[in-house]
A and B are shown apart, each in its own frame.
Chain A
Amino acid sequence: MIIIDKLAYSSKLRYKNPAVKAAFAIGNLLICVGARSFIVSMIIFSVMAGLTVLSSKISITRYIKLMGIPFGFMVLSTVAIVVNITDKPMDLVSFPVGGKYLAVSWHSLTEGARLVAVAVASVSCLYFLTLTTAMLDILAVLRRLRCPRIMIELMMLIYRYIFVILDMAGAITTSQNCRLGNRNFITELRSIGQMLAVLLIRSLKKTSLLYEAMESRCYNGEIKVLNEYYPVELRDAAGVAIFLSLMLVIALLL
C-alpha cells in the first residue's frame, strides 16, 4: 500500500490531468468487462502494463509481483468454473471420483482463460490509475463528479491518518519487540492485542487534538481547500479518446 503510494508520487504521469487518466483507466475497464473478449483484454492489458511500467519507477518484476496479489484469488475462483462435476466424462480431462467425474472440457478451459484475461486486464486498468495518480488527485476528480462532500472529506482524512497511525503502530511494535514482546506465538498475540488497544486510545486522543487544531484555524464544519489543477493536454485527451474508440470498435467487431 505504501509502495503503491510512493510509486504514484514518482510517476512521470503524476502531473497529467487526473480526469483524463481516470477516463482512460475506467473507460478501458468498462470496455474490457463489457466485451468479455480474450483479445480485447490482452490488448488492454499490454497497453496498461506497458504504460504503467514505462511511466513509473516500477520494475517489471515488481509489477508482476503486484499483479500476483489479485492473481491468486482469480485463479482460485476460476478453478470452480473450469473444473466441473459431471455424470459423464468430458472431452479434455476427466477423473472418476465416486460415481461422478471431476472433468474439464475445452469449452470450460477457454471460458476460464477468458475470465482470467478479463480480470487481469481490469486489474491492470486500476493499477494504471493508482500507480500514476496521487490519492488527492483522484479525490479531486470525485469532487468534480459531485461525489458527496462528506465522503471526500472522510477519504482525505483517512488517507492522511493511515500514515500517522501506521507510524504509531510501527513504533509501538518496535518497542514491544525490544522487550521480547514477540518471544513466542502467545506473547506475540498478546502484544498485538495490547498494541491495537493502545492504538485505539491514541487515535481517539489524536482526533480531539486534530479537531482543536482545525478549530484554531476557524474550521466551521466544512473542509475548504485549494486543489491543485493540472491542465488537460489536448494531445493526451485526443490519445485517450482515439484509443477508447479503437478498443470499442474491436470489441464490437469480435
Chain B
Amino acid sequence: MNEQMIKDDHHIILKLEGVCYTYEDGTEALKGVNLDIRRGEKLAVMGPNGSGKSTLFLALNGIRRPTGGLVLFNGVPVDYSRKGLLDLRKQIGVVFQDPDNQLFSASVTQEISFGVLNLGMPEEKARARVEKVIEDLNITPFRDKPTHFLSGGQKKRVAIADILVMDPEIILFDEPAAALDPKHARMIEEIIDQLNERGITVIVSTHDVNRALIWADRIALMDEGVIVSVGTPDEIFSDDEVLARTNLEKPTVLKIFDTLCEAGITDRNGSIPHTAEDLEKILKR
C-alpha cells in the first residue's frame, strides 16, 4: 500500500464490497452493493420502497450478516463474533423509522440508559451521560412522562437519544422525518445536522428529493438491491436516466432552473441552485 492509498483509506470509514443478502425465504434484498462511506459526511440513501435500503442499514451494523461480499469498518473486515459485533454496534447506531419498534421501556430515562449500560459503563458515569443527552436533545420537558404518552416528535427525540448516548461514530437514520409534522421534521433535521457538525458520520434514508438536494454531501441511489449511482446532489439530479430508473422526481428548484435555462433567462455556467433563495438570487442578477 503506498502512502496515497493509506491516506485515501483513512477517509473511508465504511466500505462495502459486493455485499449480498438473501433472506431465508429466498428474497434477494442486496445483490452486490459497492459503497464507500466517507468519515464525517452526510450521505442520503434514496430509492423506491423495497429497493433494499433498510436491509442495507442492518447489514452495516451487523444485524444482517452478508451472505456474500465484505463490509469493512475503518479498513478492517467486520468480525461477526459476539465481541466483534458489540464493538461494531457501539460505533454504528441505527435510529429506526418507527419509534414504537425501538422504545421498549415506558420510562424515558430507562430507555436512554439501555445502550450505554450495555457498553459496560459504571452506573454513575452512565447516569451522567444520560443526563447530558437528555439536556442536549431538549428532552427535559417530557422526561418524566411515560413513553406511551409522548407525541411522535418526542418519541423520535428519545429514539435519537437512545443512540447518541452510546457515542457512535456513525448514525444511520431510517426515514427520520416519516410521519412527523413539518415543525417536528425540521426539529429532527436540525438535530441531525448538529450531530454531523460534531463529526458524526450521518447516513439518512429518505424519499424527499428537495431535502436531499439541500442537505446531502452525497446521494446513493438504490434500486433492486444494488447501488445504481453515487455522487453529489448536483451529479445525481442531473442524471435523468437514473432518476427515471429509481422513480425519483427532480427537485422542484432544479425543474424551475431547467425551464429558466431553456427560456434563456439564465445558463448553466454559474452554480446550480439548491434552494428557493438560490433561484431568487439568480433571477435578481
Contact = CB atoms under 8 A, between A and B. Distances in A.
B106 A217 contact: no
Given A223-B114, A226-B117, A213 B107 contact: no
A184 B43 CA distance: 53
A156 interface: yes
A217 B118 contact: yes
Interface of A is mostly: helix
Given A164-B148, A213-B94, A220-B118, A159 B86 contact: no
B221 to A, nearest CB: 25
Most buried by B among A136, A163, A209, A225: A225
A212 B109 CA distance: 21
Contact of A218 (B89, B113, B144, B145): B89
Contact of B100 (A6, A164, A215): A164
Contacts of A6: 149
Contacts of B47: none
- Report the interface size class on chain B: 35 or more
A164 B119 CA distance: 28
B123 A226 contact: yes
A224 interface: yes
A135 B106 contact: yes
A227 B146 contact: no
B216 to A, nearest CB: 23
Contact of B166 (A209, A212, A217): A217
A225 B117 contact: yes
Interface in A124-146: 134-136
Interface residues of A, number: 31
B89 A216 contact: yes
B127 A226 contact: yes
Nearest to A219: B118
Most buried by B among A9, A223, A226: A226
Interface string B212-255: 00000000000000000000000000000000000000000000
Interface of A: 5-6, 9, 134-136, 156-157, 159-160, 163-164, 167, 206, 209-210, 212-220, 223-228
Q: List the 4 closest pairs (A to B, CB-CB), nearest first.
A: A163-B148, A226-B113, A217-B115, A225-B110
26 contacts: A5-B146, A9-B149, A135-B106, A136-B110, A156-B105, A157-B104, A160-B148, A206-B100, A212-B58, A213-B96, A215-B63, A216-B89, A216-B93, A217-B115, A218-B118, A218-B166, A219-B118, A220-B82, A224-B114, A224-B117, A225-B105, A226-B109, A226-B117, A226-B126, A226-B130, A227-B110
Interface of B: 58, 61, 63, 82, 86, 89-90, 93-94, 96, 98, 100-107, 109-111, 113-115, 117-119, 123, 126-127, 130, 144-149, 162-163, 166
